Chains A and B, each alone.
Chain A
Amino acid sequence: MFFIPGWLISIATFPGVIVHEAAHMLFCRLRGLAVLDVCFFRVGNPAGYVIHEETEDFNTAFLVSVGPLIVNSILCVVFCFPAFVPVRIFGRSDPLSYVLLWLGISIGMHAFPSTHDAKNVWRLARQQARSLKPLVLLSFPLVVAIYAGNFLRIVWFDYLYGFALGLLLPEFLLRLLA
Chain B
Amino acid sequence: MMYLQLQDLLPLYFEESKKQTSEIWGKDLRFEKGEMIKIVAPSGSGKTSLTHFVYGTRSDYSGTISFNGNKTRQFSFENFAGWRKDHFSIVFQDLRLFPEQIVFQNIDIKRQLNPFYPPEKIKEMAERLGIGKKLESKAKTCSYGEQQRVAIIRALMQPFDFLMLDEPFSHLDNVNRQIAMQLMIEEANVRGASIILADLQRVDFFPYTKIFHL
Q: Are A and B physically bound partners? A: no
B interface residues, Cβ below 8 angstroms from A: none
